[in-house]
Chains A and B, each alone.
Chain A
């Protein structure tokens, strides 16, 4: 008998052998994880207990908010040798929206899950990656060596259309000639824009976004949908793919996203064909980055978890904070305060009337993120399981697989953790937020399992646990006019000794923005302290 027979039979046997027959449904343990909504709400509703005898402290710099931005600032200050820094984080763990969670089978991302390998021009981020051992060897080569265990291995993406999984994120099944022509035209259009610089010598779409050339900034005043209309691109396939990108990156639809932000997604890190475009990811997503940043910042007990900053005097630099775990009040006199918490919270801690940013100047999209531990790795008809698995035509964005790049040594451990993403896309973000926060645990669990069942019929039988994170203000939404408008400019402006520096004032909800904003603010603080250093950015 020849080998092909054996191969075929082997494959068929495995197909049958993997089907465990299970009859009774098992109970699913589900819980809410992540942000403790009541802590934030205490700030809004005045629920901080009155200060009795606050513990007095001093610091050169107080950083409020231990997300990617605050930790990047702390890392930058540590690099400059400044140790007199206190970081306040209201949650029991650092990371913010880039925090990692844990289920028995694997760690998983509660929010941010990946970082694309930076464009060579983003020196600062490459320096960070070198420091964290993500880039091995020199960081200034056009194509540096990445630590391979952090590179998302192929297949990176697949999509499900008409019951079948196919590679990539553009549905080709049943594509007409006209649709194909449009797709090629769109790719050509992007290629034409890629790598071009404006008359001011800057890249057209850069990271951080505010460093982009002024040349095409008027595109911020129309929506991505209008932009595609103007190009005469009406193929639903193409529009779905671009809409998916906007929803995935910004939690916004094609019609809501500014055309500048939409194009930025495709061009800011260089087009795929032009550079070896890696995605960096870890089982706990960008939680790995924030954990590493926190370690390198070496804050020790100057990192105060469970501690909410509830009042800041921008003239004296006094920060009042409450340690909810210890029940202790702090009163920290700082030279400079870095506000790396979301910008919309700032007016609640400043003296009334000090914040000139009009309420509602920035829009935030709410997100639901659910991590689901399953006994069996899902497959589906068509191409193999990828890291990112996306259904065409659904409201949700599909799921990523925590164990995708795991060692071959662990390949025989059954099951995995799938992290499911769903932005709440309504224009009325307040109503969407209410919907998100008022849904019960069992309602959201059912919802998530139903959506997953749509991709993998019967998957419910294999589910063991569901961890649900609700992010009320997950991402700043780059709506039309957001990036280069007055609102963002004012949001970034310093208020006395307070420097706003979370990703939202950078403009786009990306790790890169958080990092750049944090580093820039830290360098500004150093200058104010008389310790000016050349920027690493």
Chain B
């Protein structure tokens, strides 16, 4: 859109002969209309997006946000009549309010969401402030430009106003959201608003009562927004640390992931990329359910082994599964493969964490390999005499395509080749309640890999109903008795037989496909499951 052409003096005589200066100003003012309109709609879109992300039920949220915003604009237009003097100065100040509130809208919502009981009042306050201010502006602008005939003025201003909305509605989904993210998009548009304010203050200096003061305000707002934009990552980090319920006592960004540990009294929690991995109050449930049944199955398969049972652990860099395995005296060697050296390092050195896993990494039976699980298996193919009795697969949930390969039938087949013929294993397999299609897809995939899956589940309060799958090279019944010896707080022989029972509302759906390496259905199922109303939890890495 060429501003030059569209704003050149109209053919019919304007009410007052436009001077050069006047024309230049109106041109810029019309560009301001465009900017203001674009910004206004962007803030509205950001609020609506945040609202539907955060509050769910997107149809209601969208229509509420649009309704509130539009009516606030109406309010603004109506209020504009009460501004009788100093229109230019008010115009600049209103710009600044929009810049500040709109620019920090996403940041405020983001932080508010972590801190406030309900984020709705904040959301609607932001909408009302921004909407009213935008509503005030268009009438003000028309008044500043009163040199033009009314029909001309209305035509131009409104045309630019609506054009701006078009620009925003295209830019937002196609460029801004994917490239800048919500927080920075809002800040960038705040800066645009501040630029318009700055420009107006510079060009209408004679109309301002205290030009120096106004310009200082512009500078301050621009500086705040600019700082926000530059330190966007830090702000988000700070915001993130605000997300945890309890004080963060450790936080580290490794090349692979972000590790965060929180502590409140005796509750120590580990988060990877913001996803809860365990809470020390109930992790024993998870790890007993993961480890003890499969070791019982191994003993059932090879009762004669009193020492030297070989165990492979994939994932589990926190050493908590190790603690449970090491409680079994017949285990002779454990190979643990975890991608991230920072993780195994942390859990073998931090005193509080070491006391959680009982110093598992100190045990001479444990051998740690920091590698991609699939590659490690490929590079360490074993001869018959050397294969594993037990494989424990404790990997993050399949929430992306790089992880999905570790849940594929090809991967399971490879895993199978590294197990003895009487070997057994277990796979952590997300929640059968919250992510049912994912859970049963893993079962179907293990079936396709001829690993005779036996799904079971246990209640882990901080995760909900959690699923596991027992596997075996040769078909066998799940064990009825646990191995005597280790102390347990959760599992017992009585509980064992109930783990393998699924109630009717958790029956296996009959249309789940196998997760093949080359199509990775599981990752799509997982996305769908989590998007469904029930889906909430996840141990994604």
User: Is A9 engaged at the interface, CB distance under 8 Å to the other chain?
Assistant: yes
Q: Is A276 an interface residue (CB 8 A)?
A: yes
Quick one: which of A3, A13, A279 contacts B537, CB cutoff 8 A?
A: A3
Closest B residue to A383 by beta carbon equals B524
List of A residues within 8 angstroms of B523 by Cβ: 154
Indicate whether A152 reaches chain B with its CB closer than 8 angstroms: yes
Query: Are A155's CB and B520's CB within 8 A?
Result: yes
Q: Which residues of A contact B400 (CB under 8 A)?
A: 384
Residues of A within 8 A of B180 (CB): 16, 19
Could you say which of A5, A10, A458 contacts B273, with CB atoms under 8 Å apart? A10
Q: Select B410's contact among A3, A18, A148, A409, beta carbons within 8 Å.
A: A148
State how many angstroms separate the Cβ of B118 from the closest Cβ of chain A.
Answer: 12
Q: How far is the CB of A404 from chain B (nearest CB, A)?
A: 9
Q: Judge if B359 is at the interface, Cβ distance under 8 Å.
A: no
Which residues in A have their C-beta under 8 angstroms from that of B245?
1
- Surface stretch bound by A, among B19-27, B122-130, B401-409: B401-409
A411 neighbours in B (Cβ, 8 Å): 256, 402
Residues from chain B with a CB closer than 8 A to the CB of A9 are: 110, 113-114, 239-240, 243, 274
Q: Which B residues have a C-beta under 8 Å from some C-beta of A?
A: 53-54, 110, 113-114, 173-175, 177-184, 229, 232-233, 236, 239-240, 243, 245, 255-256, 271, 273-276, 339, 371-375, 378, 400-405, 408, 410-411, 413-414, 417, 516-520, 523, 530, 535-538, 540
Please tell me if the beta carbons of B273 and A409 are within 8 angstroms of each other in the complex.
no
A278 in contact (CB, < 8 A):
yes
Range class of the A interface residue count:
35 or more
- Bound-state Cα–Cα, A1 to B535, Å: 15
- Some 9 contacts from A to B, beta carbons below 8 A apart, are A6-B275, A8-B53, A9-B243, A12-B53, A13-B183, A19-B181, A147-B378, A278-B518, A412-B256
Is A10 a contact of B402 with CB atoms below 8 Å? no
Nearest residue in B to A413 (C-beta to C-beta)? B255
The yes or no answer to A380 lying at the interface (CB within 8 A) is yes
Instruction: Report yes or no: B177 in contact with A154, Cβ–Cβ below 8 A.
Output: no
A6 touches B243 (CB 8 A): yes
Given A3-B276, A6-B274, A149-B375 in contact, is the A15-B518 Cβ separation under 8 Å? no
Q: How far is the CB of A453 from chain B (nearest CB, A)?
A: 13
The residues of B that contact A409 with a CB separation of less than 8 Å are 339, 371-372, 375
How many whole Å from A246's CB to the nearest CB in chain B? 22
Do B519 and A19 touch (CB < 8 A)?
Answer: no
Are B535 and A15 neighbours in the complex by a CB distance under 8 Å? no
**Chain A residues in 8 Å Cβ range of B182:** 12, 15-16
Q: Which has the most chain B C-beta neighbours within 10 Å: A10, A153, A155?
A: A153
Which chain A residues lie closer than 8 Å to B183 at the CB level?
Answer: 12-13, 16
B174 to A381, Cβ gap below 8 A? yes
Q: A13 to chain B: which residues have CB within 8 Å?
A: 181, 183, 236, 239-240, 274
Choice from B110, B243, B401, B538 contacting A1 with Cβ under 8 Å: B243
Taking each of A1, A3, A276, A379, which has the highest tally of chain B beta carbons within 10 Å of its own beta carbon? A3
Contacts of A152 in B (CB 8 A): 518
- Complex formed: what's the CA distance from A153 to B405 in Å? 7
Contacts of A38 in B (CB 8 A): none
Q: Is the CB of A156 within 8 A of B184?
A: no
Instruction: Report yes or no: B371 in contact with A153, Cβ–Cβ below 8 A.
Output: no
Known: A3-B275, A148-B410, A277-B518. A154 touches B401 (CB 8 A): yes
For the complex of A and B, 8 pairs with smallest distance between CB atoms: A16-B181, A154-B520, A10-B274, A412-B255, A15-B181, A408-B372, A4-B536, A13-B236
Q: CA of A3 to CA of B274 in the docked complex: distance in angstroms?
A: 9
Question: How far, in whole Å, are A376 and B20 apart by their CA atoms in the complex?
Answer: 48
How near does chain B come to A114, taking the closest CB pair, in angstroms? 12
Contact between A379 and B178, CB atoms less than 8 A apart:
yes
Report if A407 contacts B (CB, 8 A): yes
With A6-B275, A15-B182, A409-B372 in contact, is A151–B232 under 8 Å at CB? Answer: no
A19-B184, A409-B371 known; A145-B413 Cβ under 8 A:
yes
Report the bound CA distance from A9 to B237 in whole Å: 11
Contact in complex: B378, A154 (CB < 8 Å): no
Closest to A411 in B: B402
Select B174's contact among A14, A156, A163, beta carbons within 8 Å.
Answer: A163
A7 CB-CB contact with B under 8 Å: yes
Q: Is the interface of B mostly helix, strand, loop or mixed?
A: helix
Q: In the complex, A412 Cα to B402 Cα: how many Å?
A: 12
Of residues 127 to 167 in A, which have CB atoms within 8 Å of B's CB atoms? 145-149, 151-156, 163
B318 to chain A, nearest CB (A): 18
Are B179 and A7 within 8 A (Cβ)?
A: no
Residues of chain A within 8 A of B408, CB atoms compared: 153
Q: Known: A10-B275, A12-B110. Is A156-B518 also a contact (CB below 8 A)?
A: yes
Mask, A234-258, CB within 8 Å of B = 1, is 0000000000000000000000000
Question: Chain B residues near A145 (CB, 8 Å)?
Answer: 413-414, 417
Give the nearest-CB partner of A147 in chain B: B378
Question: In the complex, what distance in Å separates the CA atom of A536 from the CA atom of B504?
Answer: 56
Q: Which of these, A4, A149, A278, contacts B378 with CB under 8 Å?
A: A149
Question: Which one, A12, A154, A279, A381, contacts B404 given CB within 8 A?
Answer: A154
Besides A3-B536, A154-B517, A409-B339, 11 other A-B contacts (C-beta < 8 A): A6-B243, A7-B536, A7-B538, A9-B239, A13-B183, A16-B233, A153-B404, A155-B519, A277-B518, A409-B371, A458-B179
Interface positions, chain A 163-217, Cβ under 8 Å from B, are 163
B411 and A148: CB pair below 8 A? yes
Q: Is A457 an interface residue (CB 8 A)?
A: yes
B53 touches A17 (CB 8 A): no
Residues of B within 8 A of A7 (CB): 274-275, 530, 536, 538, 540
* CB-CB under 8 A for A5 and B54, given A148-B378, A412-B256: yes
Given A12-B110, A147-B378, is A17 in contact with B181 using a C-beta cutoff of 8 Å?
yes
Q: Which of these, A2, A3, A8, A154, contacts B516 with CB under 8 Å? A: A154
Alpha-carbon separation in the docked complex, A14 to B258 (Å): 11
Q: Are A15 and B177 in contact (CB under 8 A)?
A: yes
Nearest Cβ distance between residue A135 and chain B, in whole angstroms?
13
Q: Do B402 and A17 touch (CB < 8 A)?
A: no
Q: Across the interface, which residues of B come within 8 angstroms of A146, CB to CB?
A: 410
Q: Which of A4, A8, A14, A279 has the most CB of B within 10 A?
A: A4
Nearest chain A CB to B401's CB is how many angstroms away?
6
Contacts of B276 on A, CB cut-off 8 Å?
A: 3, 6
Shortest Cβ gap from A261 to chain B (Å)? 25
Docked Cα-Cα span, A19 to B188, in Å, equals: 13
Asked if B173 and A8 make an inter-chain contact with CB atoms under 8 angstroms apart, the answer reads: no
Query: Is there an interface contact between B275 and A381, defined as CB atoms closer than 8 Å?
Result: no
Docked pose: A156 CA to B523 CA in angstroms: 13
Who on chain B is nearest to A6 by CB?
B274
Contact residues in A for B256 (Cβ distance below 8 Å)? 408, 411-412
Q: Among A3, A16, A412, A457, which residue has its beta carbon within 8 angstroms of that of B232?
A: A16
B174 neighbours in A (Cβ, 8 Å): 163, 381, 457
Q: Of B181, B233, B414, which one neighbours A148 at CB under 8 angstroms?
A: B414
Closest chain A residue, CB of each to CB of B371 = A409
CA A12 to CA B107, docked complex, whole Å: 11
The smallest beta-carbon distance between B79 and chain A, in angstroms, is 34
CB distance from A174 to the nearest CB of B (A): 17
B227 CB to nearest A CB, Å: 13
* B321 nearest CB across to chain A (Å): 20
Bound-state CA distance A537–B95 (Å) is 77
Complex CA distance for A4 and B536, rounded to whole angstroms: 5
Contact of B173 among A1, A148, A381, A408 (CB under 8 A): A381
Once A3-B538, A4-B535, A9-B113 are accepted as A-B contacts, the answer to whether A154 and B518 lie under 8 Å apart by CB is: yes
Q: Which of chain B's residues have a CB closer than 8 A to the CB of A148?
A: 374, 378, 405, 410-411, 414, 517
**Contact indicator per residue, chain A 373-417, by CB within 8 Å of chain B (1) or not (0):** 000000111001000000000000000000000011101100000
> Which chain A residues lie closer than 8 Å to B233 at the CB level?
16-17
Q: A153 and B401: CB pair below 8 A?
A: yes
Known: A7-B538, A154-B517, A155-B519. A384 touches B178 (CB 8 A): no
**A155 vs B372: C-alpha distance when bound (angstroms):** 19
Nearest CB to that of A151 among chain B residues?
A: B517
Q: How near does chain B come to A495, taking the closest CB pair, in angstroms?
A: 43
